[in-house]
């Protein structure tokens, strides 16, 4: 049976769970074959269309432009990988504008990413531990700016916030972390960690 993209990424990065592969894929700059791929294709393809949907085995990841990214677990285990993309015939999206959203000013590099933090929550778990934070921040150091989208995350724990917003930031001062869409509880925990 074909193993599919998420299992391939899980094995290549030695991740504990194939759902973590979806989080890594959403960050961008991920390749299991650096000699032949930059790791930017899936990321930018998902941003160029209205809806990007990738399904492999029991996992289904969907990026819907302007809405939150979703991870769905399906009951059926389908082999291989299926990618679906939808683009309106009258779309006003311009390729250069999409690339510019993720480039450093006056540079032609993939310098910024947007990470849907909700993808780090599995089966409704709360984000409370340092190990969860370390999984979230894996590969953040490859970017100049990381926008952490907390849409759908209602609260985080002190250790999680401290690991992301103090420990990681001290170790990687050249990577700017920009939290957005925070609830009051999340914002308070982030501010506490940043002031520590």
Of the candidates 4, 2, 17, which has an alpha carbon nearest to the alpha carbon of residue 135? 17
Q: Which residues pair with 46 in a beta bridge?
A: none
Phi, psi of 120 (to 5 degrees): -85, -10
pLDDT of residue 154 exceeding 70, the answer is yes
Which residue is associated with the tokens 């310098």? 111
Structure tokens at 61: 């990841």
Average pLDDT over residues 33-48: 79
Q: How many CB atoms lie within 10 A of CB 144?
A: 16
Going from N- to C-terminal start, the domains of the chain cover 1-98, 102-196
Q: Which residues pair with 51 in a beta bridge?
A: 64, 86
Q: What's the confidence (pLDDT) of residue 2? A: 60
Output the average pLDDT for the chain: 86
Residue 89 CB partners (closer than 8 Å, separation 6+): none
Average pLDDT over residues 168-187: 96
pLDDT tens for 7-38 read: 888 888 888 888 888 888 888 888 777 788 77
Q: What's the confidence (pLDDT) of residue 165? A: 96
Average pLDDT over residues 49-69: 82
Q: What's the confidence (pLDDT) of residue 87? A: 87
pLDDT of residue 190 exceeding 80, the answer is yes
Average pLDDT over residues 41-53: 82
């Amino acid at each position: 049976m074909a193993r599919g993209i998420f299992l391939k990424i899980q094995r290549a990065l030695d991740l504990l769970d194939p759902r973590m592969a979806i989080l890594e894929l959403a960050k961008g700059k991920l390749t299991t074959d650096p000699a032949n791929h930059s790791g930017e294709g899936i990321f930018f393809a998902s941003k160029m269309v209205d809806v990007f949907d990738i399904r492999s085995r029991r996992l289904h990841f969907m990026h819907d432009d302007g809405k939150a990214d979703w991870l769905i677990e399906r009951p059926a285990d389908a082999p291989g990988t299926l990618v679906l993309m939808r683009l309106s015939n009258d779309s006003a999206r311009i390729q250069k504008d999409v690339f510019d959203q993720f480039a450093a000013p006056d540079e032609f590099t993939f310098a910024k990413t947007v990470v849907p933090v909700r993808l780090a929550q599995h089966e409704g778990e709360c984000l409370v531990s340092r190990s969860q934070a370390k999984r979230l921040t894996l590969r953040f150091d490859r970017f100049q700016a990381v926008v952490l989208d907390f849409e759908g995350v209602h609260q985080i724990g002190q250790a999680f916030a401290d690991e992301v917003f103090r420990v990681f930031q001290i170790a990687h001062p050249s990577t700017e972390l920009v939290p957005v869409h925070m609830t009051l509880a999340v914002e308070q925990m982030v501010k506490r960690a940043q002031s520590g």
